Structure 1
């Protein structure tokens, strides 16, 4: 997939989330009020906050597309990583809110009447929609290598779990088990918090120039096998948004001409671009030490 197409695909996933969240939030707020379900109504407010998170991610993706300028010689790609952090913080706040609401319900007074069963139907339908959106965004995130969209996808899954928890709570209230609602809220809140922490740690690892050691070893072995490369003296990589930047130092025969050494470096760049879609491979050539 071309670079422009990848970024457009990631933006499409973020826009899909915004549109779905808008529809679901309106439907849940109305259903919660009509069918007497605090859980569904709270889930509607949760989706409204998700609109803010997805919008922040979308804005981050748009900023990341801006070309280099005098203040950003490497471009604006890391704006997408910052939007992932924002999404993680908002997910964590949602998880904490779900947990605290569950604790308040656990020790609070029971409602006089149980919510209408249609409220549970609304919650389950919402969960089904969000699972579908999650599947679409997860697939797009993998195709586009977008960490921001991957964070959005995890948020989609968290929202599906919240809706399932709301349905469980409604069912428990109708069956005379009021404790089921807060218990489900506590479990789901903990799961949302765990997902937010994973998104935060993954994004923080990228922003501090962390990179998968096993993948780096694969790059090193493949470069070492290029004709004319005597040794890979050094190799390192980092992420700029959803793009990999690879820096490698190779050793070649000290008797080669500059032109021939340059051809070997070009071959390394082509290999990484064609096999791993790495568009920025910086190759430093050194002469092999004479023994």
Structure 2
């Protein structure tokens, strides 16, 4: 399965998220209006941002599937990461809106407890989102899609948010009226935390950041290949969900071109099989060249 078919399968997960979020958002906001639950309203608004975020992921996956052209010789894979960055800004805006709306209600002594229907609605949608999380997580692992893996994590956090909403509404039934707006405030903080995590990861990848520990694992894999005497340089960066690796290896200077080429093929095969990395640029130098550096 190549990267383009993986992206196409990833679109299915984005569509599942969009449909689930539209249903949950409409249901929560409607019930929140009827019951007066600030927590459920915040939860519904959270899901509405997830609709936009999932659409952004879907658009990013669609653009990323476009083949390389004259202006984009490496393809359009980074569109997937850019879409996640856009989604983080949308979530940041809504998170701030939820918090600024929850704080005055928290200190409003006239705020009444919402109907328990709001709590049962939150609990039912939590079950739905846990199902969506399970589906998207399995699909993300199968297709190696980082965007879909992030979407799955968002699905799971949304399920936990809805469970928290249920607790807030249920607690408000026992004259703890402040629990409902407090739950709304917590939802707002969770939205901001999720937005920050997505923003941090997206900007890290767009600026060619790469985890040092993972880079060391790649180096160990390459060094384990027969014929590789030393590695003088290795770099890696993300290109959407794909990883690009540049490495300088040193081999026996007595090897001919065919023997050296066989080593590079073994490296490419091992990197694809072990790390699911399809693009490795390998520069070969003679072993004694290392001593001159």
Q: Give 3-state SS (helix, strand or coil) of 2:233's partner.
A: strand
Q: 1:152 to 1:225 in 2, by over 3 A?
A: closer
Match of 2:60 in 1: 60
Measure, in 1, the Cα distance between the counterparts of 2:219 and 2:71: 33
Aligned to 1:180: 179
Deviation at 1:7, TM superposition (A): 1.6
Q: Is the 8 A contact 1:231 1:251 kept in 2?
A: yes
Under a length normalisation based on structure 1, what TM-score does the superposition of the two structures give?
A: 0.90
The question of 1:11 aligning with 2:11 is answered: yes
Per-residue Cα deviation, 1:35-67 (whole angstroms, up to 9, x for no partner): 443443443343233211111110000100111
Q: Deviations over 1:2-52 (max 9, x none)?
A: 434422332111111101112122222332344443443443343233211
Comparing 118-127 with 181-190, which one deviates more in the overlay? Answer: 181-190
Deviates more, 1:92-101 or 1:55-64: 92-101
SS at match of 2:32: helix
Tell me whether 1:119 sits opposite 2:151 in the alignment. no
CA distance change for structure 1 residues 197 and 127 in 2, over 3 Å: closer, same or farther? Answer: same
Superposed CA offset, 1:92-148 (max 9, x none): 33332332222121123524x533222211111112211222232233333333222
Change in 2 beyond 3 A, CA 1:246/1:175 = same
What's the CA shift for 1:179?
1.2
Q: Is the 8 A contact 1:24 1:44 kept in 2?
A: yes
The 10-residue stretch of structure 1 (37-46 or 271-280) with the greater mean CA deviation from structure 2: 37-46
Residue matched to 1:233: 232
- How many corresponding residue pairs? 290
Q: Which residue of 1 aligns with 2:147?
A: 148
Q: What residue is the counterpart of 2:100 in the other structure?
A: 100
- Which residue number in structure 1 is paired with residue 24 of structure 2? 24
Superposed, which structure 2 residues align to 1:1-291 within 5 Å? 2-111=2-111, 114-289=113-288
* Structure 1 segments (4+ residues) deviating >6 Å: none
In 2: Cα distance, 1:223 partner to 1:150 partner: 27
CA 1:228 to 1:36, structure 2 compared with 1: closer, same or farther past 3 Å? closer
Segments of structure 2 that go 5 or more residues without pairing to the other structure are none
Which TM-score applies when normalising by structure 2?
A: 0.89
Consecutive unaligned residues in structure 1, runs of 5 or more? none
Per-residue CA deviations over 1:129-181 (Å, capped at 9, x if unaligned) read 11222232233333333222233223323432432343233223322111112
Contact 1:134/1:157, CA 8 A, preserved across alignment: yes
